[in-house]
Structure 1
Amino acid sequence: MQATQAQILKHHGGDAEHARQMITQSYARRHDADFWDFWDTKMAPVIEPGNLLMDVGAGIGQFVNDLALRYPHNTALGIDAAQYMLAAQLALPANGRFLKDDLNQPAAPIEPGSVAVVMANMLVHELPQPVNLFKAVFAWLKPGGRFCVIDLVRQPLQQYLEHKYSPPQIWQEPMPRAQLEDVFEHFLEHNRYHADDLIYLLTQAGFVVLENTPQNSGRMVRIVVEKPL
Structure 2
Amino acid sequence: MKTLHENPKYSFHQTLALFKALADETRLRLIQIFEFGPFSVGDLVNILEMGQSRISRHLKILHDAQVLTCYRQDGFTFYHLNPAAPQLVQKVIQSFMMESEKLDLDQLSLCQHIEERKQNKAQIFNQMADRWEDIRSQYRVSQKANKRIIKLVEDHDFVIDLGCGTGSLLMSLANRKGRYLGVDISPRMIQRAQSNLKNLQSSLDIQFKVGDIEKIHLPTKSASAVIASMVLHHLPDPEVLFTRAYQWLKKGGRIILHDFQEHGNQTYQKLFDHLWLGFSRDQLQHWMEKSGFHWKKYYSFPSQGGEDTFVAYGIKPK
Report if TM-score (shorter chain) is over 0.5: yes
Q: Who is 2:249 aligned against?
A: 141
Structure 1, gaps ≥5 residues long: 165-180
How far did 1:200 drift?
A: 0.8
Q: Who is 1:64 aligned against?
A: 170
The structure, 1 or 2, with the larger RCO (C-alpha pairs under 8 Å, 6+ apart) is 1
Alpha-carbon contact 2:227-2:257 (below 8 Å) kept: yes
Alpha-carbon contact 1:122-1:150 (below 8 Å) kept: yes
How far did 1:9 drift?
A: 4.6
Q: Who is 1:20 aligned against?
A: 132
Structure 2, gaps ≥5 residues long: 1-114
How far did 1:208 drift?
A: 0.7
Give 3-state SS (helix, strand or coil) of 2:192's partner.
coil
Give 3-state SS (helix, strand or coil) of 1:87's partner.
helix
How far apart are the structure 2 equivalents of 1:20 and 1:140? Answer: 28
How far apart are the structure 2 equivalents of 1:212 and 1:94? Answer: 29
Larger radius of gyration: 2
How far apart are the structure 2 equivalents of 1:60 and 1:71? Answer: 19
Q: Who is 1:128 aligned against?
A: 236
The size of the alignment, in residue pairs, is: 195
Alpha-carbon contact 1:152-1:190 (below 8 Å) kept: no
Residue 75 of structure 1: which of 179, 185, 193 is its match? 179
CA change 1:38–1:152 in 2 (3 A) is closer
Give 3-state SS (helix, strand or coil) of 1:146's partner.
strand
How far did 1:33 drift?
A: 6.0
Identity within the alignment, %: 20
Map residues 79-228 of structure 1 onto 2, 5 A cutoff: 79-89=183-193, 90-92=196-198, 93=203, 95-103=205-213, 105-108=214-217, 110-155=218-263, 157=264, 160=265, 182=270, 189-191=275-277, 193-216=279-302, 219-228=308-317
Alpha-carbon contact 2:148-2:311 (below 8 Å) kept: no
Alpha-carbon contact 1:106-1:136 (below 8 Å) kept: no
Give 3-state SS (helix, strand or coil) of 2:298's partner.
strand
Q: Which piece of structure 1 moves more, 1-10 or 140-149? A: 1-10
Q: Who is 2:118 aligned against?
A: 4
Q: TM-score, normalised by structure 2?
A: 0.52
Alpha-carbon contact 1:207-1:227 (below 8 Å) kept: yes
Alpha-carbon contact 1:151-1:222 (below 8 Å) kept: yes
What CA RMSD, in Å, does the superposition of the two structures yield over aligned residues?
A: 3.3
